[in-house]
Chain A
Amino acid sequence: MTILKNHDTKGVAFVDDAKLTARHVNVFYGDKQAIFDVSLDVGANEVIALIGPSGCGKSTFLRCLNRMNDTIDRCQVQGDILLDGEPIYDGSMDVVPLRARVGMVFQKPNPFPKSIYDNVAYGPRLHGLATTRVELDAIVEYSLQRAGLWNEVKDRLDAPGTGLSGGQQQRLCIARTIAVDPEVILMDEPCSALDPIATAKIEELIDELRENYTIAIVTHSMQQAARVSQRTAYFHMGQLVEVNPTEQMFTTPEHTLTEAYITGRFG
């Protein structure tokens, strides 16, 4: 790999009030290395966009942040990732509460084949967040309202979640994630299966959610990265090439690869 000398990331990868801290992260799928020595901070209440060409490792890196890669056999993560200063790959950190604190929204809307209500209530029930039906109802309503879905579905909470449109399904998935009251929300190309109007709604939502949550979003769309994020990280072939404030990244990129990518010369 001759992209970066000593995996030296350009720009500013570290912030003062880091929510998530990744240091020297290497990820292997069996013998194949997917991530090379990536160090990156995700600041509190910011939206950070992870961009880069297909297969660059941005999704793999995202999935390291709440240990979703644990479910994949042969996937091995090295290095340190800390949530509020606590190492998450340490033996002392249980993966169940970690995922309650670091929620995830996936590329394809994946509501459970249950009612809309049960979809949102699943997480709170799992973690015992509500003791009474009234409390649970309140969590469901609040989550759906935060996801901007309440007015559309309040009269049919018993209808199956799979019966909604694609955009509504994705907002239902966001509501489901919010219902657990996480600190960080990871989004893995949440709009790639949606039409432009649904995408606009989700982007608006991401902007609102920033008040309360720290968000890391993987996206293929550079316009989306520019619209929703404060910082942008550019990945290339498993390496973190450049991290900078989004505006600076899209106007004056430091690395030639970043420039080539955002000007559309490849990717």
Chain B
Amino acid sequence: MTDSSLSTRQKVERSLARRRATETRFHALGFMAVLFGLLSVVVLFGDILLKGSSTFRQTVIVTDIHLDAQFLGLTPRSKEAHIRRADFEGLIRQQLHAAMPTMTEDEARELHRLISIGAAWQLSDWVVENPQHLNQTIRFELLADHLVDQWFKHDRRKGISQRLSDVQLSWLHEWADSGQMYTRFNRLFFTHGDSQEPELAGVRGAMMGTFLTLMVTLVLSFPIGIATAIYLEQFAPARQWINLVEININNLAAVPSITFGLLGLAIFINLFGVTRSTPLIGGLVLTLMALPTIIISARAAIKSVPLSIQEAAYGLGASKVQVVFHHVLPLALPGMLTGTILAMAQALGATAPLLLIGMVAFVVDVPNAISDPSTVLPVQIFLWADSPERAFIERTSGAILVLLGFLISMNTLAVLLRQRIERRR
């Protein structure tokens, strides 16, 4: 405009340079955004992995144990209940004592503190399995206390110690140097429920709770959500109240999740008397939370089914239900599944609503049914993150890893399922 001596071509070229610069800038910005996102993920995962991976190793102290039948008051024919009542803790103390006969009583107490109380029942479990070894000497891996565990895994090489006395450290060094003390895979973490003792605390209870809760959620929310979506998209008359329903569903998707917890508390627990702290009530509340997401995505999936396909079926004399089940549903299923998995992933991480319906309870037993008291993984993480013990902090990261594992396997399953359905078409 300013310089009329320029030809059109020159003007175009000048604007071209500007356009190219904009494009390059936009490219760079986009790339940086992706890079930032990736970096955040790497840092997050790296940090959790670094902190959490040591959860999967547990320190044990291997020692010779003479299974003194007389001391335990057992015979090879003793009943299981009888064996479980025997004083294995006393036996372990006696044996450790025997190895160091010059100890004072104070020192003996300090020695016993290095061994977890779980060691005794692990030994009793072993004897229940192998009663024929009574009166024999066996090599047994005694579970170390969580302080020992933390020292051995983290502090030994750094030469520091927390809450361990000098005499305890001298024994620990001796065991570590002689190879009597080592770490092995922490099976307990995956087979146990929560515990006051960090070395005995596991995620099995929370995993089962999460699994059962999600099953209840899936079984309820998938059919209800899909049926609602189909009704709204295919059958509902274009009426005012249907619009109202639509607006409400869209709004529900944005309601803070804790509100659903309050609703569950008021309706399911107080009104209908569903037992609190169970996967059943958890599943009911999470169903409320998952439904809007499932309905919205399912409706979008149904909308994307070509009208021409539906018309073709109608033209051949298919009834409405036949059109829906023969054509609309199969074509919309992949999209519906994606939405459902998204909602399930959301439900998997939901903590706030579950706090309100009592799933925050300290539950030691692993739940086996939807009516057993239980907790779920995110709430377990929340509980452990609150404990002052170092070992629990470590377990927090461990539990997060398990949760992420859950999430990744669920998503993988969803992708595989989706691919299978799409390939069949």
Contacts and interface: CB of A to CB of B under 8 A. Distances in A.
Contacts of A122: 313, 316, 326
Nearest to A111: B312
A229 interface: no
B316 A68 contact: no
A100 B313 CA distance: 11
Interface of B: 237-238, 306, 308-319, 322, 326-327, 331, 425
A113 B328 CA distance: 11
24 contacts: A71-B310, A71-B311, A74-B238, A96-B317, A96-B319, A99-B317, A100-B316, A103-B316, A106-B312, A106-B315, A110-B306, A110-B311, A110-B312, A112-B309, A112-B327, A122-B313, A122-B316, A123-B317, A126-B322, A173-B312, A176-B312, A177-B315, A177-B316, A180-B316
Nearest to A73: B238
Interface of A: 66, 68, 71, 73-74, 96-100, 103-106, 108, 110-114, 122-123, 126-127, 160, 173, 176-177, 180
A99 B314 contact: yes
B315 A97 contact: no
Contacts of B314: 68, 71, 99
B316 A99 contact: yes
Contact of A103 (B237, B310, B315): B315
Nearest 6 interchain pairs by C-beta: A104-B315, A110-B308, A99-B317, A100-B317, A123-B316, A110-B312
Given A112-B327, A113-B331, A176 B316 contact: yes
A213 B43 CA distance: 71
Contacts of B313: 112, 122
A66 B308 contact: no
A74 B239 CA distance: 11
Contacts of A111: 312
A97 B425 contact: no
Contact of B317 (A71, A106, A127): A127
A123 B317 CA distance: 7
Nearest to B237: A73
Nearest to B318: A126
A180 B317 contact: yes
A155 B395 CA distance: 62
Given A73-B237, A123-B317, 5 more contacts: A97-B317, A106-B308, A110-B308, A126-B316, A177-B316
A113 B319 contact: no
Contacts of A104: 311, 315
Contacts of A73: 237-238
Given A112-B327, A126-B318, A180-B317, A106 B309 contact: no
Contacts of B238: 73-74
Nearest to A108: B308
Contacts of B322: 126
Given A73-B238, A74-B238, A126-B322, A113 B317 contact: no
A230 B309 CA distance: 31
A99 B323 CA distance: 14
Contacts of A123: 316-317
A112 B312 contact: yes
